[in-house]
Structure 1
Amino acid sequence: MKKTLQIIILLLLAVPAFAQTGSLKGKVLDNNQEPLIGVTVLVLGTEKGAVTDIDGTFTVGNLPTGQAVARVSFVGFKTVELPITIEANQATTLEDITLYEGNEILQDVVVTGERINQFSREQTAYVSKLPLKDLENTQVYSTITNELLVSQTVTNFEDALKNATGVDKLWTSTGRGGDGAGYYSLRGFSVQPQLVNGMPGLTNGTINAANIDRIEVIKGPSATLFGNSVGSYGGIINVVTKKPFAGTGGGINFTTGSFGLNQLTFDYNTPLDAAQDIYFRLNTSYQYKGSFQDAGFRETFFVAPSLTYRVNNKLTFSFYGEITKAEQTNPTMLFLNRAAPSDAPDLDALGYNNKLSFTSNGLTIATPTSNFRGEVSYKISDNWTSQTVISTSQTTTDGYYSYLYDYGVYPGNIFTRFINKQNAQTNTFDIQENIIGDFKIGELRNRLVFGIDYLEAKSVDNSSGYAYYGNVSPTGELFPDNPFTPATETGPFPLTTSAVDQAIAPLANGSSVVRQNVISSYVSDVINFTPSLSVMAGVRLDRFENLGDINGEGGFDQTTLSPKFGVLYQPIADKMSIFANYQNSFNNVAPALVGDPNAGPQTLKSFDPEQANQLEFGLKTNLFDYRLNATISYYDIQVSDKVMTDPSNPFNRVQEGTIESSGFELEVNANPIDGFNLRGGYTTNESEITETDDANQLGTRPLEAGPKNLYNFWASYELQNGSLKGIGFGFGINGSSERAVLNYANTGTFLLPEYTIANASVFYQVAKFRVDLKVNNLFDKEYYSGWSTITPQEPRAFLMSLKYRF
């Protein structure tokens, strides 16, 4: 026994001789010599790595001895690789590592470590096409992080956008050709999500939430860097997708819930070569969801492959793809008459039974979409980088689309149903070249982007005409007679494909073809006069060409300059900034025929592009070691040069229409203590049509402006210690003031009531597992959205989510 014990002791003493290890320590700084938190340090050829803490330091332990390479990477900074030597039982200390800012979308591998404030993202390369921190950017934007979406068990894009300050849904995604994506109000104007990773990315349905790394809602007119094809005067919605990262990992998630919801997602990332220079990521999702109404569903399958190949320290290739197959019934919307008085001023008078869908699950519309993107990044020098990006998008609409419209023929708000067969397709091709520099002229630091952008878009619509298909009351009563024909209709207009096809058969199909080309160049420079004082200046030259129909008729072209200017001062470095900006956007206006047709041939009159100009000022903070992030701003947007009928000559058109939109915004992201994250926002907006030839609209609030007041809040807390560690809770609200979905002098006003919706969750996570239980619309509030329409929103819904990470 004694001999055996001696042998065991000798073996234990010998283990270190056979398994010598060491460690690596260091500190990571930015080029202003400030510590960087959340930087990933990976020792290649091992599974060892670390993330820098609040003072920029890191330690990687239990490393095998010998020669190795440490890769240091961080969002918005250029990745560096450092040769290291690990010695037995010693800590190898690297001198302070300085990372220089580069473009996030040029990164070969992007790894984000744990952040203190889970609901805020401090840096992005998309908003300004330069890697600027939020405190350095004169533009206001809201970032919705993936961590926030996970904490809320978000399964759809509409719920994700409820976290953006000042954004409200106007119109549910219809899937119809040309404009089938959802519409949202932002700073008094309607906007659709049409930007993916900073490039055009169309959809005619809803965006799949499974592939979202974050959503960036860029506020205000933003044509200087992005053009006018992907946003509105209120701003732009940019979806940043998940990308390959250094290492192997992923997860699987199953969510089930009310109204037949079942969703399965799978995410896997892996290197494809021994040198770990090629990374592949696959994200895929299947979802089926029914409706709280008597009919309605949406079924989607989604796959998103992505690949990054780091050829060497200078050259990187990347590819991203998103392919969605979707089929749905189009959502129920009651269209109010914009030209005749409404018999009902509100929902109580309308007597609407919102459990009725006025459709059937047999009348569906397919909306497949695809977005592909390729990038080539070449590091010209330490100060200059070239980025070439090519993207393509395709949307298709194939199926039945119906809507209910109040023609005002019947008393009592009787709605006429029209149905057509959609057959439309939109294709875009975009190629963009950016030269990004970070250099000094004398003592002035310049961060500059110069770009050339070419966008080509073609839309083909061969949809059928709309067939009359009966009338219904808001309570569901059928009125079969067609008020527009002398003959009596037989009814009962069954909601089947065969019956609808028979009604559509006599109607001719359309043959619309719209082709547009846009070629642009832009330059933007952020100049630091001092470390605390910077100025941003930019301008875009935009050449728009509408190529007309298939025969080239009806085409026109316009050339526009779009400037941008901002100034920013940090009274407390990296903690507080005061900013002001001037931003511009525009809209191309087609020529119009003018002149009295009774006096001779009319002439074609050309117009300048419509213009929107914003002045904004505010305050941004990032206090208490990244625990409190806040933005407060006031903006004023003036839209001018809207074409309208000449008040003194009904046969002439003049550019004298104007709209004013101004407002106040507050957004706060905070992490008061470890495990406790909260996010809140409030906005108020005043919008008015101040000049128009239409007396019915003069002085009114535009319908697209949405509600005047919006607010949102979400808080999540996870226990950090003890036997209950890993258990957490979440609670939040979303609210809106009343809104006018009809507001003209000749129609009167139809108001949708104000609302406050509460949501709550409980979760438990341990090691690689997480389970969430969530209740949306906790108190089962009845509420609506609309834009000259009435769309009921979902009542109380329960969700359960099971996640496993590997």
Structure 2
Amino acid sequence: MLLSISTFAQQANQDTLKSLELAPVTVTVTGTRNIYKIDSSTTVSKLPLKDLENPQVYNTISKIVLKDQVITNLNNALKNATGITRLWESTGRGGDGAEFYSMRGFAVQPTMTNGMPNISNGTTDPVNIENIEVIKGPSGTLYGGSLIAYGGLINIVTKKPYETFGGEVGYVAGSYGLNRYTADINIPLSKNVFARVNAAYHYENSFQDAGFNKAFVIAPSFKIVANDKLTFLINTEFKNSEGANAPMIFLNRYAPLSFHSLDLFEKSYKISYTSNSLTMKNPSFNIQTQALYKLSNNWTSQTVLSRSNTKTNGYYHYLWDASNGDEFTRYISKRNGETNTTDIQQNFIGNFNMGKMKNKLLIGLDYLNSQITNNSTGWVADGIVSLVNQTDSGSLTTQGVDNLLINSAEGNSIVETKIMSAYVSDVINFTPKISVMLSLRVDNFSGKPLWATDEIKSQTTLSPKLGLVYQPILNQLSLFANYMNGFTNLAPAEVSDINGNNPTLKIFEPEQANQYEFGAKANLYKDKISLTASYYNILVSNKTMTDPTNVNNIIQGGEVESKGFELSVVTNPIKGLNIITGFSHNDNKVTKDAADGGYLGLRTEESGPANLFNFWTTYRVQNEKLKGLSFGFGANYASEFNTLNRSTTGSFTLPSYTIFNALIGYSANNFSLNLKLDNIGNTKYYTGWSTVTPQRLRAISLGMSYKF
């Protein structure tokens, strides 16, 4: 069976690709190749580097993995990456309505597509995904500080046009009313113009008594070869989605916990406390255009324009702990907002020699404009929920909620930020075995950080990155070390003296995250075993705290340390057997806090479980009589963690869990059939971030596809 893997290499003409040291790749799956491994990336470092040459750690999840596992959502896809787990499901609310994950002890959302900003208030559909790059560590030097986290970032690499006719159609049916139709069609429009369209319709109910998600996605993309030096790429995605989500169950952050057992939540595991009439709509649109121009044999120009628009329109509600041991108050609002981002990048990529030293040089300019508008109602109380008695006194109809909200208004507001940046990164090969990466970013921020009411007129930040790679066995084993930086611009705040007099506006310096890391990467036994192992230490400084001598003042100086170990393995040990597995341990705590701040010495609530393990294996039967038959098995483990963890309130622990999944598949004559069983043991488990959220129970799905 032939599988065409579209990489960045397929996006430009051959001469341009040659200058980037990439070429189109066709993979034949014969059972002897490490098919889950992708050896290089052009977006992780914005330079064409193989994994062994890159001093930064990242995991790549290929479209082959997505197909083998009958993946229908981003969360299940990311379970194949080491050290990442979901904290919050998508809320759909404006500004930050996408899913939240935890990586290396810090919360992160999927905000990048093809290395460019792509904001969504909803979920990410996998239909247009070529592969997913989970990039580890604070990456402010190349990606800035406004859209990524100190633990890393999630970058979606989309499918791109190729130069022959082909495609695939598919259908997935499953538990909880799952119906999913997909299409992927590539058409050469002329000798130099190629088009590809990916589309999906998805409908699925919740495992609880109410709740659903439906979406339609269409993603046309084009490749235009203007001449032998200039190529244009146009990638678009339109998504129209609507869903009814169970309300978040928040523990009270400001009062001592009134319960310490999960029994309260076990009783109402399958109760949603919502209705299918309280829906949220999140339409979105993204377009990215690239112009790749070959300046010379050694230099390429990349000009990129990226625009995204995402909207929020509907009901968002949550349950707030009343601190009486049982009851939760529902607060509800009708959200109406919009987020627009525009990003323009100009990159020059060079590949040249200085004496005997080889250089891969990136010089880039970046302008990012983000505007968030809000025209929502205010928040009103809508009844009391008792988890013990499983009762709800609130209104769960649109008419009832609208009557509650009729005189409520949050007011109209606009938050706009502008960021202008310049960066340079040079990978110097002193010898074929020794290379150094030297990178620096200058970032100028102006505007209002999210939820701020006052502006920052101008704030300039430097962000360096250093990396060292030594390959004792060339192209098989590399030892690496890195120093990486990340930063966040903080919202201004009004402060006063201890008596509440003389109020002034206080501007804060950006938070800073500095990581050092060292480890090893290996491709052994003719690439049958690909391994990455590393130890990292991230120190976040300049966090804001309440002044211990003046409750009306805010000072900087808080610190969080997050350190740990990660091991990732992708292997093809015997013919037909492919394995992805990984283990991570994270030690995270607040090392400096204000007196009575409530966090000192404690693990942060966004850090998630300290230990995570992921495993997936697929075996394609090699016996000629059973050719086409395959089996898959996987597991995900997470240790217990404190979703609420403050000395002022106490700690609430969510238990550890292990989830098992299995698959049986058959393919022949371009047809494929895959039967997947998720959560075999029907295990009840929870995630959270000062919240308690039940996760989906056992589900079965049948995926069918035809390739032409």
TM-score with structure 1 length normalisation?
A: 0.84
What is the CA-CA distance between 1:723 and the residue it aligns to? Answer: 1.1
What is the CA-CA distance between 1:229 and the residue it aligns to? Answer: 1.9
Contact 1:197 1:239 in 2 (8 A): yes
1:793 aligns with 2:706: no
Q: Which residue of 1 aligns with 2:545?
A: 644
Q: Which residue of 1 aligns with 2:28?
A: 114
1:387 aligns with 2:322: no
1:431 aligns with 2:344: yes
SS at match of 2:401: helix
1:147 aligns with 2:101: no
What is the CA-CA distance between 1:238 and the residue it aligns to? Answer: 0.2
Contact 2:3 2:28 in 1 (8 A): no
Aligned equivalents of 1:774 and 1:804: distance in 2? 18
Q: Which residue of 1 aligns with 2:371?
A: 458
Aligned equivalents of 2:333 and 2:259: distance in 1? 28
Q: Which residue of 1 aligns with 2:354?
A: 441
1:709 aligns with 2:611: yes
- For residues 51-78 of structure 1, the C-alpha deviation after alignment (integer angstroms, 9 at most, x for no partner) is 9xxxxxxxxxxxxxxxxxxxx9984897
1:564 aligns with 2:497: no
From 463, 486, 494, the counterpart of 1:585: 486
- For residues 503-530 of structure 1, the C-alpha deviation after alignment (integer angstroms, 9 at most, x for no partner) is 1102124212100000000000000000
What is the CA-CA distance between 1:349 and the residue it aligns to? Answer: 5.1
From 284, 287, 293, the counterpart of 1:369: 284
Q: Which residue of 1 aligns with 2:583?
A: 682
1:185 aligns with 2:102: yes
Contact 1:270 1:279 in 2 (8 A): yes
What is the CA-CA distance between 1:605 and the residue it aligns to? Answer: 3.0
Aligned equivalents of 1:542 and 1:805: distance in 2? 46
What is the CA-CA distance between 1:688 and the residue it aligns to? Answer: 0.3
1:102 aligns with 2:17: no
Q: Which residue of 2 aligns with 1:487?
A: none
Q: Which amino acid aligns with 2:83?
A: G
Q: Which residue of 2 aligns with 1:26?
A: none
1:60-75 aligned within 5 A: 75=9
Q: Which amino acid aligns with 1:102?
A: L
1:324-339 aligned within 5 A: 324-339=239-254
1:339-738 aligned within 5 A: 339-348=254-263, 350-408=265-323, 411-475=324-388, 477-478=390-391, 480=393, 493-546=394-447, 554-596=455-497, 598=499, 600-693=501-594, 694-738=596-640
What is the CA-CA distance between 1:690 and the residue it aligns to? Answer: 0.9
Q: Which amino acid aligns with 2:27?
A: G
1:248 aligns with 2:165: yes
Q: Which amino acid aligns with 1:155?
A: T
Q: Which amino acid aligns with 1:657?
A: G
What is the CA-CA distance between 1:324 and the residue it aligns to? Answer: 0.4
Q: Which amino acid aligns with 1:225?
A: L
SS at match of 1:529: strand
What is the CA-CA distance between 1:266 and the residue it aligns to? Answer: 0.5
SS at match of 1:704: helix
Aligned equivalents of 1:73 and 1:292: distance in 2? 37
SS at match of 2:59: strand
What is the CA-CA distance between 1:350 and the residue it aligns to? Answer: 4.9
Contact 2:372 2:414 in 1 (8 A): yes
SS at match of 2:402: helix
Aligned sequence identity (%): 48
Q: Which residue of 2 aligns with 1:134?
A: 51
Q: Which residue of 2 aligns with 1:215?
A: 132
SS at match of 1:144: strand
Q: Which residue of 2 aligns with 1:751?
A: 653
Q: Which amino acid aligns with 2:555?
A: V
Q: Which amino acid aligns with 2:147?
A: V
SS at match of 1:498: helix
Q: Which residue of 2 aligns with 1:92?
A: none
Aligned equivalents of 2:453 and 2:580: distance in 1? 52
State which drifts further: 570-579 or 116-125.
116-125
Aligned equivalents of 1:99 and 1:251: distance in 2? 27
Structure 1, gaps ≥5 residues long:
1-37, 41-50, 52-71, 82-97, 481-492
What is the CA-CA distance between 1:606 and the residue it aligns to? Answer: 2.6
Aligned equivalents of 1:529 and 1:606: distance in 2? 44
Q: Which amino acid aligns with 2:20?
A: G
- For residues 519-570 of structure 1, the C-alpha deviation after alignment (integer angstroms, 9 at most, x for no partner) is 0000000000000000001000000001599999544321000000010000
The 3 A distance-change label for structure 1 pair 791 and 99 is closer
Contact 1:583 1:615 in 2 (8 A): yes
Aligned equivalents of 2:619 and 2:21: distance in 1? 33
Aligned equivalents of 1:658 and 1:743: distance in 2? 16
From 68, 76, 82, the counterpart of 1:159: 76
Q: Which residue of 2 aligns with 1:767?
A: 669
State which drifts further: 669-678 or 769-778.
669-678
| Root-mean-square deviation over aligned CA pairs | 2.2
Contact 1:173 1:331 in 2 (8 A): no
Aligned equivalents of 1:564 and 1:723: distance in 2? 54
Q: Which residue of 2 aligns with 1:44?
A: none
Aligned equivalents of 1:729 and 1:427: distance in 2? 44
Aligned equivalents of 1:749 and 1:551: distance in 2? 30
State which drifts further: 262-271 or 501-510.
501-510
SS at match of 1:574: coil
Aligned equivalents of 1:73 and 1:375: distance in 2? 15
What is the CA-CA distance between 1:241 and the residue it aligns to? Answer: 0.6
The 3 A distance-change label for structure 1 pair 137 and 507 is same
Aligned equivalents of 2:602 and 2:451: distance in 1? 39
Aligned equivalents of 2:165 and 2:281: distance in 1? 35
What is the CA-CA distance between 1:420 and the residue it aligns to? Answer: 0.8
1:188-203 aligned within 5 A: 188-203=105-120
Q: Which amino acid aligns with 1:788?
A: S
Contact 2:247 2:316 in 1 (8 A): no
SS at match of 1:503: helix
Q: Which residue of 2 aligns with 1:59?
A: none
What is the CA-CA distance between 1:332 and the residue it aligns to? Answer: 3.7
Q: Which amino acid aligns with 1:156?
A: N
Q: Name the structure, 1 or 2, with higher relative contact order (CA <8 Å, separation 6+).
A: 2
What is the CA-CA distance between 1:647 and the residue it aligns to? Answer: 2.4
1:309 aligns with 2:309: no
Contact 2:12 2:225 in 1 (8 A): no
The 3 A distance-change label for structure 1 pair 520 and 675 is same
Q: Which amino acid aligns with 1:306?
A: S
Q: Which amino acid aligns with 1:245?
A: Y
Aligned equivalents of 1:757 and 1:420: distance in 2? 35
TM-score with structure 2 length normalisation?
A: 0.96
Contact 2:452 2:492 in 1 (8 A): no
Aligned equivalents of 1:559 and 1:315: distance in 2? 35
1:125 aligns with 2:38: no
**Large movers: runs of 4+ above 4 Å:** 76-79, 547-553
Contact 2:374 2:413 in 1 (8 A): yes
1:803 aligns with 2:705: yes
What is the CA-CA distance between 1:589 and the residue it aligns to? Answer: 1.9
Aligned equivalents of 1:174 and 1:74: distance in 2? 32
Aligned equivalents of 1:555 and 1:663: distance in 2? 35
Q: Which amino acid aligns with 1:286?
A: Y
SS at match of 1:604: strand
Aligned equivalents of 1:549 and 1:577: distance in 2? 41
Larger Rg: 1
